Chains A and B, each alone.
Chain A
Amino acid sequence: MNGLLNVSRRKFLQATVVGGTGLVLGVSFRSAEAAAPQRFEPNAFLAIDGSGRVTIWVAKSEMGQGVRTALPMVVADELEADWAMVHVEQALAEPKYGRMGTGGSSSVRNSYLPLRKAGAAAREMMVSAAAARWGVEASGCRAESGVVLHAPTGRRLAYGELVAEAAKLPVPADPKLKDPGQFRYIGTPMPRVDIPAKVNGSAVYGIDVRVPNMLVATVVRCPVVGGKLSKLDDSAARAVPGVRRVVPMESGVAVVAESTWPALRGRQALVVSWDEGPHAGLGQDSIWQQLETAVQKPAAVARATGNVTRALAAGRTLEATYQAPLLAHLTMEPQNCVADVQPDGCEVWAPTQVPDRARAVVAKLLGINPERVVVHTTFLGGGFGRRLETDAVVEAVQLSRAVAAPVKVLWTLDDDFAHDFYRPPSVHRLFGALDAAGQPLAWLHRLSVPSRSPERLKNGIDEGALTGALQVPYGFPNLAVEFAASATPVQLGAWRSVAHSYNAFAVESFIDELAHFAGKDPLAFRRSLLAASPRHLRVLDLVADKAGWGRPVPKGRGRGLAVHESFASVVAEVVDVVAEGTGFRVERVVCAVDCGTVVNPNTVEAQVEGGVTFGLSAALREAITIDQGRTVQTSLSEYAPLRMREAPVVEVHVVKTNEPPGGIGEPGVPPLAPAVANAVFAATGKRLRKLPLQPPSRGTG
């Protein structure tokens, strides 16, 4: 058979080279890299060689949000590099990069200043090197697009000619940063560097990695969380041609084969019975009941202003309960990882959001120094928080150790559905009060959501689960937020925009309900309570203008609004829906975004468009339910996410500002669900308080 073993490392290398943005090979615990002569490498993020070629290392994971372009743009701008000479590399997991985790929409936000400084320091060193060569004052020289110029004499030296001298200079600790008016790349729409490889098939994701002698494994796991293997008959599986080994392991039973097809067939041939453990009876009804019961009585106070109890007793009150379900991440690239455990270390290739954590986990698992672990971050076929977990990495390492060969562990999409770290389910009870004149008097939000782990609770409060509820921006004189702690055996994790995803639904739905209760326009009502939040006001005004808020809407249509701050950005969205039969259709979404300084406008727009579509898919359709301890929805047809034919028109308008950059991968998601529910109310008079708003009927698709 012309099998996997024929596909050599050469091929793998080729694939990465074609992409131009692929993996770094040859830097490993096995081969110490010889320092290239004539190379200027003042810090972890950039190097310039004698030809003037600039290498910029990206320490964040590219999962579609454009970091492989945006972060180098920041470095190149301060460096005054010529973009045509810039070559981008993915960084290996190393402490010199600091925290590498890609999540919380933090990449540009947290790297912005350090990367500017890294670029600026290198620029100053280039200028100093040139000034010294010419024997002139550095202040009389300037850098421009990869060249140092001395205006009085018209002399010029390219960066490549200066590397040897610059490399000997001290690195300035506090280089002078550019004035935003001088930015060359920041704020300019730049084509993404990863896109050419993503339209010709050469982009290398984790699933595409091959190393010599690599085996492929699939793992069957107990469908019930906490279950264990009780009986295994692997004779049929081992009889499948190409299957090498069947390995019972902590997470299940692995079939290790020469390539993917026999691994999948072998898995099907396994005869396994499980001891389903203590959670085999768990059902969705009991999950909801637990949360609903928890919000019936006062809970731990996480924030309080004024006296809510008294204000609620004094005013005209409104009360509503909202519910948001468990959700799956559904990255299109199933979980996978390649590990090669060697006697003296381990090399890992993973589509991971946390290469640094993966490195630590592998080192601990193998009982070796992290320096003996090399983690290559590939492209990620979607992240959304799922790849903050290291479960597939652990499996690959365990299996490589067990079979003494490099192993790629590959999940199926069903595995991903059934064994995800889901967005937690939540129940929100809100109370509001208006005074006799209809002015807002009180706000009480009581939230119950199971914590991802008991350690997250401090004095009965899980602050992480409260983000977006705790910071409610509306200026109620009496305001309280309460948290009712609970737990569940279901695996929970961070799902794009994390707690904002459910808290914004409750907060922005209820403020809309209160506006109608007060007989006020939902925009005017919000504005009246946002005097202390100029960024909110600005995006509200922008979105209202662009969406034509206040203009008459034909019968059978409705327009809904929501605004929410997350990850240091504020997004307002106006959704237009059309009533259709007993349901509705989302026609258009207009967004206004304040994400501070924009590095790559092209990416910002794309992320908001994507976030809106992702958020709409969840708002309309998505829910994971649990029955008899197992996940009910294990296929696309059952989960029924949004397809092309249902995708609305999305318009994105970005506020111009020189404030520090905010996040952009997630902030488009939270306002969407409430904006849709508010639009449905405007169109039909029906208030929808449970997500998803249009659940798929069972078994369709």
Chain B
Amino acid sequence: MANLSFTLNGRPQTLDVDAAMPLLWVLRDVLGLTGTKFSCGIAQCGACTVLLDGKPMRSCVVAVSSAAGKHVTTIEGLSTDGSHPVQRAWVAEQVPQCGYCQSGQILSAVALLAEKKAPTEADIDAAMSGNFCRCGTYSRIRKAIHRAAKETAP
């Protein structure tokens, strides 16, 4: 057990938890933020993606101790009313099917768009291929990323 502090969705957070516990389980079980999903548990599917200081990370393999002092962003931190431009693009393109992979997809897309304002197809392939979608929503994800890029363009 250790006292750990980090910023979670813009708010300071201090916790007394097992430092080795993956961030995923801290978010889901300790803090009740269940928008971050568990699937493969071994960094192969991207369902558990969160942003750590803006970079996409697989929270299933990141010990909570590595988040100490950093900014953690989960799907709940983008906006609860769906007003983030990437969320809006996801709704406009009606991307999710079962939806289980989509928190991770959205956060990977947010990180991509923070790096590249107008990503190419190859940029999208590179940034998004670690996020598996069993329902096969890939073509809509691609469209939604382009839409979000266009809508946030200056």
Q: List 15 A-B contacts (CB under 8 A).
A: A7-B30, A7-B32, A192-B94, A192-B96, A195-B91, A195-B95, A201-B36, A201-B103, A259-B30, A413-B45, A614-B135, A636-B44, A642-B136, A644-B129, A644-B133
Using a Cβ cutoff of 8 Å, how many contacts connect chains A and B? 199
Segment at the interface with B among A355-363, A379-387, A428-436, A577-585: A379-387
For the complex, what is the distance from the CA of A213 to the CA of B137, rounded to whole Å? 37
Establish whether residues B99 and A379, one from each chain, have CB atoms under 8 Å apart when the complex forms.
yes
Q: Which residues of B contact A701 (CB under 8 A)?
A: 44
Establish whether residues A260 and B29, one from each chain, have CB atoms under 8 Å apart when the complex forms.
yes
Report the nearest A residue to B78, measured CB to CB.
Answer: A200
> Separation in Å of the B105 CB from the closest CB of chain A?
9
> Separation in Å of the B65 CB from the closest CB of chain A?
13
Q: Which residues of B contact A347 (CB under 8 A)?
A: none
B55 CB–A CB distance under 8 Å? no
Q: Check A644/B141 contact, CB under 8 A, given A261-B18, A333-B39.
A: yes
Which residues of A584-635 have CB atoms within 8 Å of chain B's CB atoms?
602, 606-607, 609-614, 617, 635
Which residues of A214-229 have CB atoms within 8 Å of chain B's CB atoms?
216
Q: Which residues of A contact B128 (CB under 8 A)?
A: 644
Establish whether residues A199 and B106, one from each chain, have CB atoms under 8 Å apart when the complex forms.
yes
Residue from A192, A194, A200, A617 in contact with B80 in the complex, judged by beta carbons closer than 8 Å? A200
Establish whether residues A2 and B15, one from each chain, have CB atoms under 8 Å apart when the complex forms.
yes
Q: Which residues of B contact A290 (CB under 8 A)?
A: none
Establish whether residues B30 and A2, one from each chain, have CB atoms under 8 Å apart when the complex forms.
yes
Establish whether residues A259 and B136, one from each chain, have CB atoms under 8 Å apart when the complex forms.
no
Residues in B lying within 8 Å of A, measured CB to CB: 1, 15-18, 21-22, 25, 28-30, 32-42, 44-45, 47, 74-76, 78-82, 87, 90-91, 94-103, 106, 124-126, 128-142
Q: Which residues of B contact A260 (CB under 8 A)?
A: 25, 28-29, 38
Residues in A lying within 8 Å of B, measured CB to CB: 1-4, 7, 11, 15, 18, 63-66, 191-192, 194-205, 207-208, 210, 216, 241, 259-261, 264, 330-334, 379-384, 410, 412-413, 602, 606-607, 609-614, 617, 635-637, 641-645, 647, 649-650, 701
For the complex, what is the distance from the CA of A642 to the CA of B134, rounded to whole Å? 8
Establish whether residues A64 and B135, one from each chain, have CB atoms under 8 Å apart when the complex forms.
yes
B15, B29, B81, B95 — which one has the most chain A CB atoms within 10 A of its CB? B29
Q: Check A641/B134 contact, CB under 8 A, given A7-B32, A205-B100, A379-B99.
A: yes
For the complex, what is the distance from the CA of A649 to the CA of B121, rounded to whole Å? 12
Q: Which residues of B contact A2 (CB under 8 A)?
A: 15-17, 30
For the complex, what is the distance from the CA of A261 to the CA of B60, rounded to whole Å? 10
Closest 7 pairs (CB-CB, A-B): A201-B35, A613-B136, A64-B97, A381-B100, A198-B99, A64-B98, A647-B138
Report the nearest B residue to A413, measured CB to CB.
Answer: B40
Establish whether residues A64 and B139, one from each chain, have CB atoms under 8 Å apart when the complex forms.
no
B1, B21, B74 — which one has the most chain A CB atoms within 10 A of its CB? B21
For the complex, what is the distance from the CA of A606 to the CA of B30, rounded to whole Å? 36
Residue from A207, A259, A606 in contact with B140 in the complex, judged by beta carbons closer than 8 Å? A606
Establish whether residues A650 and B139, one from each chain, have CB atoms under 8 Å apart when the complex forms.
yes
Establish whether residues A261 and B21, one from each chain, have CB atoms under 8 Å apart when the complex forms.
yes
For the complex, what is the distance from the CA of A129 to the CA of B71, rounded to whole Å? 59
> Separation in Å of the B56 CB from the closest CB of chain A?
14
Report the nearest B residue to A203, measured CB to CB.
Answer: B99
For the complex, what is the distance from the CA of A198 to the CA of B94, rounded to whole Å? 10
Establish whether residues A210 and B32, one from each chain, have CB atoms under 8 Å apart when the complex forms.
yes
Establish whether residues A381 and B44, one from each chain, have CB atoms under 8 Å apart when the complex forms.
no
Establish whether residues A334 and B91, one from each chain, have CB atoms under 8 Å apart when the complex forms.
no
Q: Which residues of A contact B96 (CB under 8 A)?
A: 64, 192, 194-195, 198-199
Q: Which residues of A contact B95 (CB under 8 A)?
A: 195, 199
Establish whether residues A204 and B34, one from each chain, have CB atoms under 8 Å apart when the complex forms.
yes
Residue from A63, A191, A643 in contact with B132 in the complex, judged by beta carbons closer than 8 Å? A643
For the complex, what is the distance from the CA of A2 to the CA of B27, rounded to whole Å? 12
Report the nearest B residue to A380, measured CB to CB.
Answer: B98
> Separation in Å of the A15 CB from the closest CB of chain B?
7
Q: Which residues of B contact A645 (CB under 8 A)?
A: 125-126, 129
> Separation in Å of the B150 CB from the closest CB of chain A?
18
Establish whether residues A259 and B25, one from each chain, have CB atoms under 8 Å apart when the complex forms.
yes
Q: Check A644/B35 contact, CB under 8 A, given A18-B80, A198-B96.
A: no
Establish whether residues B35 and A200, one from each chain, have CB atoms under 8 Å apart when the complex forms.
yes
Residue from A7, A199, A331, A649 in contact with B134 in the complex, judged by beta carbons closer than 8 Å? A331
For the complex, what is the distance from the CA of A488 to the CA of B135, rounded to whole Å? 29
Residue from A15, A65, A208 in contact with B97 in the complex, judged by beta carbons closer than 8 Å? A65
Establish whether residues A635 and B102, one from each chain, have CB atoms under 8 Å apart when the complex forms.
no
For the complex, what is the distance from the CA of A63 to the CA of B90, rounded to whole Å? 18
> Separation in Å of the A474 CB from the closest CB of chain B?
29
Q: Check A207/B44 contact, CB under 8 A, given A198-B99, A332-B134.
A: no
For the complex, what is the distance from the CA of A98 to the CA of B131, rounded to whole Å? 38
Q: Check A241/B125 contact, CB under 8 A, given A200-B75, A613-B136.
A: no
Establish whether residues A194 and B34, one from each chain, have CB atoms under 8 Å apart when the complex forms.
no
Report the nearest B residue to A668, measured CB to CB.
Answer: B136
Q: Check A382/B29 contact, CB under 8 A, given A635-B44, A645-B125.
A: no
Q: Check A641/B91 contact, CB under 8 A, given A198-B96, A332-B100.
A: no
For the complex, what is the distance from the CA of A560 to the CA of B30, rounded to whole Å? 52
Q: Which residues of A contact B41 (CB under 8 A)?
A: 264, 412-413
Q: Which residues of B contact A636 (CB under 8 A)?
A: 40, 44-45, 132
Residue from B28, B45, B82 in contact with A200 in the complex, judged by beta carbons closer than 8 Å? B82
For the complex, what is the distance from the CA of A535 to the CA of B120, rounded to whole Å? 40
For the complex, what is the distance from the CA of A199 to the CA of B90, rounded to whole Å? 7
Q: Which residues of B contact A200 (CB under 8 A)?
A: 35, 75-76, 78-82, 87
Q: Check A641/B40 contact, CB under 8 A, given A199-B96, A647-B139.
A: no
B25, B82, B98 — which one has the most chain A CB atoms within 10 A of its CB? B98
For the complex, what is the distance from the CA of A405 to the CA of B100, rounded to whole Å? 28
For the complex, what is the distance from the CA of A413 to the CA of B38, rounded to whole Å? 9
> Separation in Å of the B129 CB from the closest CB of chain A?
4
Establish whether residues B40 and A201, one from each chain, have CB atoms under 8 Å apart when the complex forms.
no
Q: Which residues of A contact B75 (CB under 8 A)?
A: 199-201
For the complex, what is the distance from the CA of A70 to the CA of B98, rounded to whole Å? 15
Establish whether residues B138 and A613, one from each chain, have CB atoms under 8 Å apart when the complex forms.
yes
Report the nearest A residue to B25, measured CB to CB.
Answer: A261
Given contacts A3-B29, A261-B25, A332-B39, 12 further A-B contacts (CB under 8 A): A191-B94, A195-B95, A199-B90, A200-B79, A201-B103, A205-B37, A205-B100, A260-B25, A261-B21, A333-B37, A380-B98, A645-B129
Q: Check A617/B136 contact, CB under 8 A, given A195-B91, A635-B40.
A: yes
For the complex, what is the distance from the CA of A649 to the CA of B82, rounded to whole Å? 28
Q: Check A644/B29 contact, CB under 8 A, given A1-B16, A195-B96, A332-B100.
A: no
For the complex, what is the distance from the CA of A650 to the CA of B140, rounded to whole Å? 10
Q: Which residues of A contact B16 (CB under 8 A)?
A: 1-2
Q: Which residues of B contact A643 (CB under 8 A)?
A: 129-130, 132, 138
Q: Which residues of A contact B134 (CB under 8 A)?
A: 330-332, 382, 384, 614, 641
Q: Which residues of B contact A11 (CB under 8 A)?
A: 32
Report the nearest B residue to A205, measured CB to CB.
Answer: B100
For the complex, what is the distance from the CA of A195 to the CA of B96, rounded to whole Å? 6
Establish whether residues A207 and B22, one from each chain, have CB atoms under 8 Å apart when the complex forms.
no
Establish whether residues B94 and A195, one from each chain, have CB atoms under 8 Å apart when the complex forms.
yes
> Separation in Å of the A269 CB from the closest CB of chain B?
14
Residue from A65, A197, A334, A635 in contact with B38 in the complex, judged by beta carbons closer than 8 Å? A334
Q: Which residues of B contact A647 (CB under 8 A)?
A: 136, 138-139, 142
For the complex, what is the distance from the CA of A140 to the CA of B106, rounded to whole Å? 52
